[in-house]
Amino acid sequence: MPDTLSIKEKVEKNFAKPAGLSKEAAAFIEETWQFQEIMMMYNSAIREVRTKLEILNDDLAMRNSRNPIEFITQRVKKPVSIIQKLQRNGWEVSAPSIVEHLNDVAGIRVICSFIDDIYEVAEMLGSQDDVTVIKVKDYIKNPKPNGYRSYHMIIEIPVFFSDRTQSMRVEIQIRTIAMDFWASLEHQLKYKKMVANEEEIYNQLAECATTIAQVDQKMQDIRKQIENSSDSSALSAKDKLERLGNGLMRPGTL
Ligand code: GTP
Ligand code: MG
């Protein structure tokens, strides 16, 4: 007879109900199971979105002769941070409550070369048929008072599992290398104890953010000047042939 039991049913049959298991132990096993399952689902959602971004990067690299995305990082929120956020907001600490309330369990950070790449990547991702944009926060057009700049999106995508399709939310932060440099260092400094000169340090960091934004703008202007000075940004048939010959047409190498 074929084995038709799902993994969950097998665990429940063979493991979760041995004789003498206390009610508390059974409840603990059930909750741990549910938690692990949703973490698996968030990891799957991250993989899907990452692949979408990599495909966009490859396609744009073919068309524009350069990569708009420098690199991508990802993380699933740590259990302790999940619990703290639920408790801080007065929400139940349970697997269904995580899925219902939290938008940032699955997080992807996309580091772009130039500011206009950020908007291009965001627009292309957001307009894909299976992507629903839930929320956008444009901290580039509207920087935070401390100087933080980044483009934030919460998107929802369908993820296909063995027996169901589940909509999963993923938080995406898109920023330039320069914005990422500032955010990483500011994040590190925030957790250091600053006693006397807190305000002065806040102002200096905000000043650095302004300088960095000017550099980002300048680098983009330089790129545009170079593009405009060449005959055409589109590759001619001759250019393509030469690049193929040089092994330069592979995405990621342009
Ligand atoms: P959280 O509840 O903290 O996730 O914030 P939110 O729901 O108001 O979302 P928001 O889009 O403002 O920020 C989400 C994430 O962006 C944070 O978890 C950080 O990773 C990042 N972020 C936001 N503000 C700052 C900042 O001032 N400095 C740094 N370094 N990162 C920030
Ligand atoms: Mg967060």
From the candidates 48, 70, 120, 171, give the one annotated as an active-site residue. Answer: 171
Q: How far is the CA of 200 from the centre of ligand 2 (A)?
A: 26
3-state secondary structure of 49: helix
Say if ligand 1 is within 6 A of residue 6 CB.
no
**Measuring from atom 8 of ligand 1, which residue has the nearest CA?**
137
Say if ligand 1 is within 6 A of residue 137 CB.
yes
* Pair of tokens at residue 3: 């084995």
pLDDT at 253: 43
pLDDT tens per residue, range 84-141: 999 999 999 999 999 999 999 999 999 999 999 999 999 999 999 999 999 999 999 9
CA 159 from centre of chain: 16
Query: Is residue 44 scored above 50 in pLDDT?
Result: yes
Q: Domains of the chain (ranges plus CATH)?
A: 7-179 (3.30.460.10)
**Average pLDDT of the chain, as a whole number:** 88
Contact residues for 210 (Cβ-Cβ < 8 A; gap 6+)? 147
Average of pLDDT values for 169-189? 96
DSSP E strands in the chain: the ranges are 69-76, 106-112, 132-138, 151-160, 165-176
* Annotated catalytic residue 200: no
**Measuring from atom 18 of ligand 1, which residue has the nearest CA?**
104
Q: Which of 104, 173, 205 to mutate to test the pocket of ligand 1 (most atoms within 8 A of CB)?
A: 104
Lowest mean pLDDT: which of 67-71, 179-183, 228-232? 228-232
| pTM summary value | 0.86
With pLDDT > 90 as the criterion, what percentage of the chain qualifies?
69
Query: Is residue 1 scored above 90 in pLDDT?
Result: no
pLDDT at 7: 56
